[in-house]
Amino acid sequence: MSLHIYDTSTRAIREFVPVEAGRASIYLCGATVQAPPHIGHIRSGVNFDVLRRWLARSGYDVTFCRNVTDIDDKIIRVSAQESVPWFVVAERNQRAFTWAYETLGCLPPTVEPRATGHVPEMITLMERLIARGHAYASGGDVYFDVQSYADRYGSLSNQKLENMRAAADTDDESCKRDPRDFALWKGEKPGEPTWPTPWGAGRPGWHLECSAMATKYLGSTFDIHGGGLDLIFPHHENEIAQSQAAGDGFARYWMHNGLLKIGTEKMSKSLGNSLLIPEMVQKVRPVELRYYLAAPHYRSSIDYSEEALLEAAAAYQRIEGFVTRAAEVIHDVDADAPLPQAFADALDDDLGTPQALAVVHEVVREGNVALSRGDKEAVARLLAETQNMLDVLGLDPRSPQWRGAGSDLSPVVDALVAVALEQRKAARERKDYAAADAIRNQLAAAGITVEDTPHGARWELTR
């Protein structure tokens, strides 16, 4: 079976056939950096990180472009409220997003363009649209003429033009030929950042930015465009309109992840219910939070509750427990071991992570039985299968990301704990249990949990 994905534009499951054989190109609408990220924002990053990893595991050379919208109405409003330059707001929050993506194990994008670095490409795109009769300059602004594209506008969101409301993206609608025309470029206003164009100074519209960046790095026609369901209209609808009207094929597949809610409300800053990543990783470890976000199907909504979060953490710990115990018996894992067919079939079926994780848990159950029997050959095979599946999902507890490799202090901690455990072992052998317990208590006070196993003492950082 080959990869099949749900394409929003056709509202059907389609076989993935890339523009270029052996290569896959993905554009993901990244952060608009007016505020730090909550878990609703980072869900998209985790979902498309799993897609990227699966494509790479399937043999594709993946180019993954995730943009940063660093100039926008919202950023300008926050800038005015805080009395700081707009670029301070953007830089501060972009760093927060980068930290959050890295903390949850998302691989860095192949390229991460900022909107403000691509104004020349935006100007070229507007010139092409005006020349083709699909855009016009008015009062220092530039607008896309939706009537010029009326036969196709609304196809992604399955809407008819006559039923659409005004774009509501400008203070003066009289500049437009049609209230539904959307702004490609916004003319200069006092106190706002500006860039020069043939139509006057100003700044880009949100939709224009993504079309210019996507085609610069992925070509005029590329494979997959992703983002949250809330971006289908107007953002992605407008991206398609302006790109195809300019003569680009643009994205061949459109993938949209479901939203994260609290009760019936979409998670957002305006509702005051956003759960920021630094707060969330105090409740559970980052890898457990990644498991929580990756476990549901990417197109489903997640109704957040702390109970569900802790259940996900417990489920991950069961997997982690097997990997840890098995690794004490099997020291060399076959990284080239084949994945279980049921796991591969699950991910090929529209990235079915719930079914894929069900396979992981079944293999873990078999592995625990093999451990109890002392069947090292079976343990080796099942450990390799488990770690290879977890690697695809970005959840392998023995990967450097989750083991803390690269920390300046990790070798020191390893050495000090090893000495303490040797002292504890010697105390137990001479039946000085008071001394052994004292060492264990000292380690616990330092945030290190010790567990005695048939293969010796095991330690980990206290959860």
Shared domain for 381 and 450, answered yes or no, is no
Identify whether 452 is part of a domain. yes
In terms of domains, do 385 and 237 share one? no
Per-residue pLDDT of the chain (463 residues; tens, 9 = 90+): 799 999 999 999 999 999 999 999 999 999 999 999 999 999 999 999 999 999 999 999 999 999 999 999 999 999 999 999 999 999 999 999 999 999 999 999 999 999 999 999 999 999 999 999 999 999 999 999 999 999 999 999 999 999 999 998 888 888 999 999 999 999 999 989 999 999 999 999 999 999 999 999 999 999 999 999 999 999 999 999 999 999 999 999 999 999 999 877 766 655 556 699 999 999 999 999 999 999 999 999 999 999 999 999 999 999 999 999 999 999 888 888 899 999 999 999 999 999 999 999 999 999 999 999 999 999 999 999 999 999 999 999 999 889 864 444 556 666 777 777 778 888 787 887 787 788 788 888 877 887 777 666 766 666 6
Q: Is the dihedral of CA 55, 56, 60, 66 positive or negative?
A: positive
**148 and 42, same structural domain?**
yes
What's the confidence (pLDDT) of residue 408?
45
Same-domain status, 379 and 344: yes
Residue 438: what pLDDT? Answer: 84
Q: What is the CA radius of gyration of the chain?
A: 26
Say what the alpha-carbon torsion angle 402, 355, 2, 401 is, to the nearest 10 degrees. 0
Q: Is residue 393 part of a domain?
A: yes
Q: Is residue 99 part of a domain?
A: yes
The pLDDT, as a whole number, for residue 173 is 82
The whole-number pLDDT of residue 406 equals 41
Q: Is the pTM of this model over 0.85?
A: yes
How far is Cα 369 from Cα 394, in angstroms, rounded to an integer? 25
Regarding whether 306 and 192 lie in a shared domain, the answer is no
Same domain, 341 and 439: no
In this structure, is residue 233 part of a structural domain? Answer: yes
Q: 205 and 61, same structural domain?
A: yes
pLDDT at residue 413, as a whole number: 64
CATH of the domain at 90: 3.40.50.620
Under DSSP, the state recorded for 235 is I
Q: Choose the final residue of a domain: 403, 432, 450.
A: 403
Token output for 460: 């980990």
Based on the fold, state whether residues 206 and 344 are members of the same structural domain: no
Comparing CA positions, the residue from 391, 319, 401 lying closest to residue 57 is: 391
In total, how many domains does the chain have? 3
Same domain, 331 and 422: no
Structural domain ending residue among the three candidates 403, 428, 446: 403
Residues 381 and 414 grouped into a single domain: no
> In the prediction, which pLDDT does 341 show?
98
Specify if 283 maps to a domain.
Answer: no
Domain match, 135 and 56 both: yes
Residue 282 domain-assigned (yes or no) = no
Please report, for residues 184, 417, 442, 457, the alpha-carbon distance to residue 445 in angstroms, rounded to integers and kept in the order given: 59, 13, 5, 17
**One domain for residues 132 and 228:** yes
Q: Using an 8 Å Cβ cutoff, are 329 and 379 in contact?
A: yes
Which of 257, 283, 315 represents a domain boundary (last residue)? 257
Residue 47 is assigned to a structural domain of this protein: yes
Residue 359 falls within a domain, yes or no?
yes
What domain range is 87 assigned to? 4-257
The predicted structure's pLDDT at residue 450:
75
Residue 371's domain is classified under what CATH number? 1.20.120.640
